[in-house]
Amino acid sequence: MLDPLKRALKSVLETVRRRGSERRIRETGRHVTRAELARDLAALGIAPGDTVFLHSSLKSLGYVEGGAAAVIGALQDALGAQGTLLVPTYYLPAGTVRATCELEGYVFDPRVHGTNMGRLPETFLAGAATHRSVHPTHSVAAWGRHAAWLTEGHHHAPSIFGAGSPWQRFVELDGAKVLGLGISMGPVTFYHVLEDALGEAFPAAIWEQRTYRLPCRDRHGQSWDVPVRPFTAAATANRIDHPGRGDLRDYFQREFELAGLKTNGAVGAAQAWVIPGRAFFDHLERLAGQGITIYSSPEQLAARPPGRS
């Protein structure tokens, strides 16, 4: 079959699948509105003027009247005119960072490429986002007061999460908060900020030897080579977001709750949580000093129970 035909068929099948999946949620889920979500976000601690880095599961919220756009609207309502919203709009055309680095002919272009991070990031990119960072694997989209500054330096950063990246800038802001809507402590990018800040002093060997330089274009069409150093296969296989590491997810949840840094609440039908950015970073650094990271073995976790000072 010809490639364009294959692509068209795939797209039709995906549309049909999505309609069926949405209908099921509409018929069986609790219905929630933008106004209700905005109230819940405020009750969770999202305040006007905050800068929020969001990780989300749309279907965990119940059936949202107006879909993903209504969730984004609710976040904008809670953040107000002075607030900022950051959304992971990462694009990994080969599935992983490592495989994307090896992908023949790949040139990232923020004007062309979408995201594989879920419905909310997809919708954000198509509508509310005003800025998007230039990065071949970890492009971030943003709206609001700090959107331009947070995203503009990414392709000049020495590493994905390093100095000048959206995360390193985010952590400097008062009112920076990491927000999880219907997700565990697993798929949270913020952990990597400490790794890139500590570099070789990070207490686990997590990077491959080689740093790739991947071509990108910015929104003016100018070309840039952006450094990407993949994680080793062993590191990703033992990390907190790996399906087999529920022990790490439980550990970090308990640890951050006992430290008084993780606020839990309900947003629509979802379990949600929020952790202030600066305190998140400082606590990760403290834990790393005690040998605990998002790659720790069950034995390392057992040797330092959650909440130990």
Ligand X SMILES: CC(C)(COP(=O)(O)OP(=O)(O)OC[C@H]1O[C@@H](n2cnc3c(N)ncnc32)[C@H](O)[C@@H]1OP(=O)(O)O)[C@@H](O)C(=O)NCCC(=O)NCCS
Residues in contact with ligand X by the rule CB under 6 A: 18, 21-22, 25, 55-61, 63-64, 67, 88, 117-120, 183, 187, 189, 241
Tokens standing for residue 177: 């908060």
Q: Do the strands 263-267 and 270-276 form a parallel or antiparallel pair, or are they unpaired?
A: antiparallel
CB of 166 to ligand X, least distance (A): 13
232 CB-contact burial (10 Å; exposed 0-12 / middle 13-18 / buried 19+):
middle
CB of 25 to ligand X, least distance (A): 5
CB of 105 to ligand X, least distance (A): 25
HSE-CB of 58 using CA atoms within 13 angstroms? 24
Nearer to ligand X, 117 or 141 (CB): 117
Tokens standing for residue 28: 């069986």
Residue 150 to residues 133, 195, 270, Cα–Cα distance (Å)? 8, 19, 28
Tokens standing for residue 109: 């272009």
Backbone angles phi, psi at 95, to 5 degrees: 95, -45
Residue-wise DSSP of 134-202: --TTT-EEEEETTHHHHHHTGGGSSSTTSTTSHHHHHTTSTTEEEEEES--SSS-TTHHHHHHHHGGGS
Nearer to ligand X, 25 or 198 (CB): 25
CB of 36 to ligand X, least distance (A): 13
Q: What single letter denotes the amino acid at residue 91?
A: Y
Nearer to ligand X, 25 or 261 (CB): 25
CB of 255 to ligand X, least distance (A): 19
d(CA 68, CA 73): 9
Nearer to ligand X, 141 or 183 (CB): 183
Residue nearest to ligand X (CB): 118
CB of 58 to ligand X, least distance (A): 3
Indicate the DSSP class of residue 239: S
HSE-CB of 114 using CA atoms within 13 angstroms? 10
Nearer to ligand X, 33 or 80 (CB): 33
Contact status, residue 193 vs residue 167, Cβ threshold 8 Å: yes
Nearer to ligand X, 178 or 287 (CB): 178
CB of 119 to ligand X, least distance (A): 3
Nearer to ligand X, 59 or 169 (CB): 59
CB of 118 to ligand X, least distance (A): 3
CA 115 to chain centre: 11
Nearer to ligand X, 119 or 156 (CB): 119
